[in-house]
Amino acid sequence: MKCPVCGAVYRPTKGSRETGKDEELVSISTSSPSPTCRRCKADLSDLFHIHDHAIWYHRQALHLLSQKLYPEAATYNNQALVLYYSNADFHTLAGKLSALQGEWREAILSWQQALKFDPQNAIASNCLQMIELMTRN
Ligand SMILES: [Zn+2]
């Protein structure tokens, strides 16, 4: 997630440090009632609200996936993508849901998107490699 004003990158959900990226990572206090960008002081509460909403849709999608309700899960996950398109996890799940419904072309596109936003995404790259092996034979 990026500050829309100055482009500073926020990673509020993951605790693990990522290295080797040239983007500046800015920590943010999520406990404060109105989060602000540390660099440009912009009010980011709306952005965080949208982000929370997207995560909520994504969690609903995961829940529906566990109940094998794939089309319903895809609907929720698409809502998450509308709100937060640059989240690689959402694209990874979209790919999985497409694959489970036999829509391999969509699945490949989703995993490629996931890798675009997160080149280290193991699930997406593994799935694409698997498909490549399958189509080679
Ligand atoms: Zn900013």
User: From ligand 1's centre to the CA of 101, what distance in Å?
Assistant: 40
User: From ligand 1's centre to the CA of 1, what distance in Å?
Assistant: 11
Write down the domain spans for the chain. Answer: 1-43, 45-136
User: From ligand 1's centre to the CA of 93, what distance in Å?
Assistant: 29
Which pLDDT band, with edges at 50, 70 and 90, does 17 fall under? very low
Query: Which tens digit of pLDDT belongs to each residue from 30-75?
Result: 555 568 888 898 888 888 889 899 999 999 999 999 999 999 999 9
User: From ligand 1's centre to the CA of 43, what distance in Å?
Assistant: 8
Q: What class does CATH assign to 45-136? A: mainly alpha
User: From ligand 1's centre to the CA of 124, what distance in Å?
Assistant: 30
Q: Which comes out higher in pLDDT, residue 132 or 109? A: 109
SS (H, E, C) the chain: CECCCCCCECCCCCCCCCCCCCCCECCCCCCCCCCECCCCCCECHHHHHHHHHHHHHHHHHHHHHHCCCHHHHHHHHHHHHHHCCCCHHHHHHHHHHHHHCCCHHHHHHHHHHHHHHCCCCHHHHHHHHHHHHHHHC
Query: Which tens digit of pLDDT belongs to each residue from 85-117?
Result: 999 999 999 999 999 999 999 999 999 999 999
User: From ligand 1's centre to the CA of 44, what distance in Å?
Assistant: 8
User: From ligand 1's centre to the CA of 2, what distance in Å?
Assistant: 8
User: From ligand 1's centre to the CA of 19, what distance in Å?
Assistant: 21
